[in-house]
Structure 1
């Protein structure tokens, strides 16, 4: 996702498209989010209010911090009327901006935060999906609806809500529920390291093959098709193996923990430093920008995100048990 945004936020210094299909990383993130949340919370003893509080402590502090910072830095130069800015600002404050059509909401203020709005809808639904096999049933219903959706109806949805299969929670529910369903597979089937390694490598090769092959497909069908490599990739790493152990080393773990901060801050940082890097050439400017974004994300995670989350989670730490099982899958984005 970081490289996907380069043409939009580093136009003067880089001015190229290093990863044209980077937006697909959001699909992987929603699948991973469903898997990790199902992994971390067992139906037995599950407390919805505790879950909601911990999820809010996970994503909202950084969302509001970046919203305030974006407003301070870019509000005056944002080329919309004051009324439009206020409407978009209220939607961002309530974290419901992904529910409204158009870039004023889905990409307003800190543009990447639309996915947080989608995640909050999934958090609201999660206690219902956690019971029995409801997640599997919802996934099956969503997959069937996508397969049976006429092209004309899909085009109509896109006209009424541009990016409806990218920005709207209903368009992403398929991915979140398949992540929860994948956890049932992982829970009941644990193959050996050989199968895990083959699955990891096979998923990467399948992804590399399907991404260009599916580029011309309608968005809803492409999202469904790419669930196969994304799901296999998550299962392969959750099953353990040499690549999993490599990612379990201290530095990859730290970068994984800071990935949400990277996602939430890189867009603004790139806009700020783009004029400073202009003239260096893309070969120098791009690595410097990415390095700066990674270092900033680690600092934000260590100095803001983790301490604030610990503070917000402290009151109930001694009163309620919270089941958390370590997962070999690196946490990323807003779903961890």
Structure 2
């Protein structure tokens, strides 16, 4: 089952994250309320994790059992080639941060398991540690719980989600949390087990969707939910990074997936769907592309203001991401999927 209209939302989330990582002198950060949204737009990663869990169920819900090797091979083929490309591009301008130890740690996708190591090389890649954990456990969950209709996983998911939210919101205000650029910060934000609730919640949302898939015009509820998400980021002073927004992201994902209104016709347009397909390239390469663009512009046009740099960067990022998707991600994915074990 393919849900074309949900694909473009990945691009929107990726672009929000890109802006959140850009220079805070940008004009968007000088606008009241808008600045609050983009300062917290890294919550888009939480959306990715929840959507990942949702899509896994939609993709596999008709199977009686998932074969481990084929599943792991396909998932590896999906995310690893561009992940390595992101590392290589990053090292073009930040090679002084490299060491053999860090190289091995990052190539194995283990950096987020070790507080203090997650943000050294191409820092958006911290999420690869989390995705690897999701991919490791999903076939087990599917074969032993989801495919058998075992309801205990619902209770377990709710318990894990509640514990994660309570811990995260208490920890961030405690004396144990030392603030940004510390190991306590990396533990809170990037440690893979902090995000397991998001994937599980996405799985359950997927199960609900495939069992109650009734298309209808949900344009108005989708718009209202999106506005509610923005208002929450502006006015509600809670910790969002570890799955709290699932209470709004899940209904948004389900309603967009069920919707047959004007928004679905818009989001399903082939160019927008294609941008959604290229969203992983946007996310995983946006920091090294930014560093490279910034170095080139500083050398060629040193007096450019930050807003001009932003628009040039955005155009180059989208173009390179499309090229990376078309000529690296897709061919490598297809090649790796064809590999057979004798």
TM-score by length of 1: 0.81
The residue that corresponds to 1:119 in the other structure is 131
Match of 1:279 in 2: 303
Per the TM alignment, residue 20 of structure 1 is displaced from its structure 2 partner at its CA by: 1.3
1:4 aligns with 2:23: no
Equivalent residue for 1:109, pick from 101, 117, 121: 121
> Alpha-carbon deviations, 1:213-257, whole Å to 9, x = none?
22x32x36x744421221121111110222122111110111111
Q: Does 1:205 align with 2:217?
A: no
Which residue does 2:10 correspond to in 1? Answer: none
CA pair 148-7 structure 1, distance change in 2 beyond 3 A: closer
Q: In the alignment, which residue of structure 1 is the partner of 2:90?
A: 70
Question: 1:95 deviation in Å?
Answer: 0.7
| TM-align CA RMSD | 2.6
User: Which of 255, 260, 267 lines up with 1:236 in the alignment?
Assistant: 255
Q: Conserved in 2, the CA contact under 8 Å of 1:270 and 1:289?
A: yes
1:90 to 1:16, Cα distance in 2 relative to 1, 3 A: farther
Contact 1:157 1:164 in 2 (8 A): no
1:332 match: none
1:291 is matched with 315
Instruction: Measure the CA separation in 1 of the matches of 2:235 and 2:214.
Output: 30
The answer as to 2:164 corresponding to 1:146 is yes
> Which residue of the partner structure matches residue 29 of structure 1?
48
* SS of structure 2 residue aligned to 1:46: coil
Matches within 5 A, 1:235-314: 235-241=254-260, 242-275=262-295, 276=297, 278-314=302-338
Q: How far did residue 288 of structure 1 move?
A: 1.3
Q: Which runs of 4+ in 1 moved over 6 A?
A: none
CA apart distance, 1:312:
0.8
The secondary structure found in structure 2 opposite 1:190 is coil
Hey, what's the Cα distance between the residues in 1 that align with 2:64 and 2:132?
22
Distance 1:224 1:254, change over 3 A: closer
Partner of 2:70: 50
1:168-222 superposed Cα distances (whole Å, 9 cap, x missing partner): 111111111111111122122234423x2233112101101111122x32x36x7
CA distance in 2, matches of 1:111, 1:248: 31
Is the CA contact (8 Å cut-off) linking 2:165 and 2:242 kept in structure 1?
no
Check 1:151–1:68 CA distance in 2 against 1; reply closer, same or farther (3 A cut).
closer
1:279 Cα deviation after fit? 2.4
3-state SS in 1 of match to 2:303: coil
CA distance in 1, matches of 2:204, 2:315: 36
